[in-house]
Structures are given as C-alpha cells and as structure tokens.
Amino acid sequence: MGLGSVRAHRAHRVDPGRIATRQGPIGTLARVADLEPMTTRAMILAEASHLFAEQGFEGTSLNDIAAGVGIKRASVLHHFPSKDAIYQEVFNTALAEWVGRVMEASQQERPDRGWSYVDDILTTAFWYFTDNPNFVAILRRELLSRDSKLGIDLAEGIRPMFHQACNYFQREMDAGTFRQFDPEQLMLTGYGALMSYFSDLSFMEKLLERDPRDPEMLERRLENVRIFFRAALLPDA
C-alpha cells in the first residue's frame, strides 16, 4: 500500500463523533469558543481535555476550565460533581472510542486473518492517535503517574485485549503465517512505535525541524511503520 492508498484508507476510516480537540501550533492554547457550537457540557469536556493534556490533572483547576469555556465555576459544577468526575469522563470516553475503533477494524471482512488484519488495526490506531492528541497526552501522563485519578486499574482493563492480541500472533506464527517472535515483545514494540511519535510531538518537531503532524509527515510515518512490521512478520517479505 503506497501513500495514495494510505490516503484512501484514511478517507474511508470510521470517524464517529468525538470530544472536540484543538490542534494549532504545538504547545499553543486555543479557546473552546473558537470551535463549532456545542452544548455547555461538551464544551466543558473539550476544554478540560485540552487543559488536562497541557497541564495535567493537578495543574488544572475548575476555575481554569470555567474560564476557558467562558462560564462560571458554579456552572461547571452544575454539569459535573467534581474535577475528578470530569477527568474520568474525558479519559473513559476517549478510551472507549479507541477500543471501539480497534474492535470494529478487527471485525471487518477481509480475505485473510494475516497481514491485512494487522495492517488495518495498525492503521486504525495510528489515525486515532493523530485525531486525538489530547488523549495521547493524558494517557502518557497516566502511564507515568503513581497517583491515578481514573478510579480504575488501566493495566488490568487493557490486559484482556493485550492477551487476546498475543494469542492471535502466537496462533498465526504457529500456522506459519508470520515469523516466530515473542508475541509480548512484538506487542510492546508496536505500542512504542505508535505511542512515542504522538506523545513526544514537541521533541519530534525540534528534532526533525518541521511539524510532525504535517499530513505528508504523518503519511510517511504510517507507511514506514507498516513497512517495518510487514517486513518483520511476513516470511516472504
């Protein structure tokens, strides 16, 4: 699949409604008021998502969220009982959408359960991270924090999907579809290849001296991730 095919794949990917994100120059703060009209509740979630990504949970106050939306703190508390409740809804909504997209991609009809299956899931995850930079930033903060505000064990929640993917790779390796690897290490490599690019955008911009979110840069990055895993997995690649 060349760059033209990648563009077509993205144009046809499932893209249901989601919490709005604002993507200006890296490190800048845009106003929720600049977005298309939304309900007050949705505006609170959008502003909170951006602030939690930029400043973290501890660095964001209800007053900050209210100011960004252009309402009073009491109005925020009318919709949510606490900052913790806002944080949990922001994260859980984005996580559920990410899982939903990956699951939908995994259930699409395709000629085989080999490379085309892996390719579709890699591509789906890549474009989700592209479209949801706030989720990536908040997720990275959660993974590094010893004091989660989610009220759930994130590793425990994701572990069943991780094991399911490892079992899939082991079956296909045993069947000769893929080369033999340690499935857990393969999954960790995939996680790093996708997550690190989007979680370290400011560093990437300085390193590459151009915007890593530029459409052509994104397509090149996805193409190289796909080429890497195809060459690693397929015996005849």
Close Cβ partners of 40 (under 8 Å, ≥ 6 residues apart): 69, 71, 75, 79
pLDDT over 70 (residue 235): yes
With tokens 């499935």, the residue in question is: 183
The percentage of residues in the chain with a pLDDT greater than 90, rounded to a whole number, is 64
pLDDT for residue 9? 47
pLDDT for residue 33? 47
Domains of the chain: 3-233 (1.10.357.10)
- Confidence (pTM): 0.78
Neighbours of 216 (CB within 10 A): 10
Q: How far apart are CA 184 and CA 225, in angstroms?
A: 18
Q: How many helices (H) and strands (E) does the chain have?
A: 11, 0
User: CA quadruple 18, 28, 49, 194: dihedral positive or negative?
Assistant: positive
Element (H, E) at 86: helix 83-106
Q: How far apart are CA 1 and CA 12, in angstroms?
A: 15
Kindly state the tokens that stand for 4: 């033209």
Kindly state the tokens that stand for 220: 């090149």
Phi, psi of 16 (to 5 degrees): -70, 165
Phi, psi of 114 (to 5 degrees): -100, -125
Kindly state the tokens that stand for 115: 């490379």
pLDDT tens digits along 14-55: 333 333 333 444 443 344 445 556 899 999 999 999 999 999
pLDDT over 90 (residue 113): no
pLDDT tens digits along 166-213: 999 999 999 999 999 999 999 999 999 999 999 999 999 999 999 999
pLDDT for residue 89? 94
Close Cβ partners of 220 (under 8 Å, ≥ 6 residues apart): 3
Q: What one-letter code names the amino acid at 182?
A: D
